[in-house]
Amino acid sequence: MRRTILLALVTTAWLGLGHLAHASVTGVCSNCHTMHNSQGGNGVVTGGGGPQSALLVTTCVGCHQGRNTSNSETPYVFDPNGPTYGTTGTETNTNTLAGGNFYWVSMGNDASGHNVQGIAGQDSRHGNTPPGGSALPAQLTCAGAYGCHGDRTILDQAKSIAGGHHNHQVSGWKSGASIEESYRFLLGIKGLESASYEYHPTTTDHNKYYGIDRSVETDTATGSISSLCAQCHGQFHDGSGEMVPSGSSFGSGIWLRHPTDFDMSRAVARRQEYEAYNGGTGTDNPYSVVSPVATADTTTNLNTTVFSQSDDAIVMCLSCHRAHGTPYDAILRWDYKSWPGGGYNGCAVCHTSKD
């Protein structure tokens, strides 16, 4: 009897916390926050740094480093002991997430990741200049004005993502309207988030990336995942005379740079090549986690098939790259440089007659 009452009380307390139960971060405040960064006269911040913004006990990198397992609560993007990536980062023995991992760039292979401050030194070849764009005033950071996450007009990293960790809901279409309503706190970017961050992704369990099937090369495709990359690597995505030669129109089959935010169903030349995407026939092809595509669909239905509705076969930067790092040059999802011979030809998921 007493047990039943206790259980009922616990249940009520749990339900009473309705909004918190949906919030992303849970647990004791002091796990993550320190009121004065002082305990018995000693600093609390891990690694011995001074007080952090938002009264945090460590930096973004401090919390987000470790090894992912099937029940980690924090998404780990940097595994200092060396994660298992496999051939494409999707095999069942891997322990990296959708963005890959910053490990290889931390070990000095500058080409294998974004050289984020606190993980790696400045890139020896690019400095702070993103290829296809203009130099940043300082080294890349996770968030804020010099980073990818959060409000890119705000310098302070924690301030730039303020509210994200507590107000974020894992489920639901992210409209881009606020930090917590943006795909992975990338302000303005839309999408649907895999609850496991693509730990062991499959055709039926993965992120849903938003894309736009453009008709002109100057369309910045606001809200698409590729438009995020374009904020720094602009010329690789849009701009007059950047994607197609002058006199040609976007989508006429003549390219200066590999198309992104372009739907494969509009391929002019060798269309059958793309209709065979990932072993399919041009209707309901299985989605590939090796070379994924974006979709213009903004519902919470997961895109497990491709060529099932209009604009669901959109080439994006992440069809070939990962955002954080991989073992391979140019942060590619697979080892393009060593193929053929070794490596892996992920291009063939789309260019099916080029394997």
- 99: tokens are 């963005």
Smallest separation, CB 147 to ligand HEC (Å): 6
- Which of these ranges, 199-207, 215-223, 230-238, 278-286, lies near ligand HEC under the rule CB under 6 A? 230-238
Please report how close the Cβ of residue 4 comes to ligand HEC at its closest, in angstroms.
29
For ligand HEC, which is the closer residue by CB, 94 or 288? 288
Instruction: Write each residue from 171 to 210 as x if it is in contact with ligand HEC (CB under 6 A), else as -, in one continuous string.
Output: -------------xx-------x-----------------
Return the residues of window 332-351 that contact ligand HEC according to CB under 6 A: 332, 336, 347, 349-351
Site mask for ligand HEC (CB under 6 A), range 96-135, x = bound: --------------xx--xx-------x--x-x-xxx---
Cα(143)–Cα(159) distance, rounded to whole angstroms? Answer: 9
Using CB under 6 A, which residues numbered 133 to 152 contact ligand HEC? 136, 140, 142-143, 147-149
Instruction: Judge contact between 231 and 140, C-beta under 8 A.
Output: no
Residue written as token pair 């322990």 = 95
Asked if residue 17 binds ligand HEC (CB under 6 A), the reply is: no
Task: Look up residue 161 and give its two tokens.
Answer: 């993502």
- 272-311 footprint of ligand HEC as x/- string (CB under 6 A): --x----------------x-x------------------
Q: Which of 45, 54, 155, 256 binds ligand HEC (CB under 6 A)?
A: 54
Pick from 24, 84, 117, 203 the residue near ligand HEC by CB under 6 A: 24
Two structure tokens written together for 349 = 């998921």
Q: How far is C-alpha 330 from the chain's CA centre?
A: 16
Listed ranges 79-87, 206-214, 240-248, 266-274: which one lies at the site for ligand HEC (CB under 6 A) = 266-274
Question: Does 224 participate in binding ligand HEC (rule CB under 6 A)?
Answer: no
Question: Residue 214 interacts with ligand HEC (CB under 6 A)?
Answer: no
The candidate with the shortest Cα–Cα distance to 177, out of 188, 192, 193, is 188
Which residue, 212 or 315, is less far from ligand HEC as judged by CB? Answer: 315
Where does this chain touch ligand HEC (CB under 6 A) — which range of 7-15, 216-224, 255-263, 298-306? 255-263
* Cβ neighbours for 200, distance < 8 A, ≥ 6 positions apart: 70, 90, 92, 94
268 binds ligand HEC (CB under 6 A): yes
d(CA 223, CA 199) in angstroms, rounded, equals 24
Tell me, rounded to whole angstroms, the distance of Cα 291 from its chain centroid: 14
CB of 345 to ligand HEC, least distance (A): 8
Q: Which of 44, 65, 103, 165 binds ligand HEC (CB under 6 A)?
A: 165
Q: Are 112 and 337 in contact (CB under 8 A)?
A: no
CA separation for the pair 62, 73 (Å, rounded): 14
* Closest alpha carbon to 272 in 352, 179, 334, 218: 352
Buried b (16+ CB within 10 A) or exposed e, 64-98: bbeebeeeeeebbbbbeeebebbbbbbeeebbbbb
| CB of residue 184 to ligand HEC, shortest distance in Å | 4
From first CA to last CA, the distance across the chain in angstroms is 68
**Residue 22 CB, nearest approach to ligand HEC (Å):** 10
Query: Is 33 a residue that touches ligand HEC (CB under 6 A)?
Result: yes
In order of 119, 128, 233, 291, the CA distances from 123 in angstroms are 11, 7, 16, 27
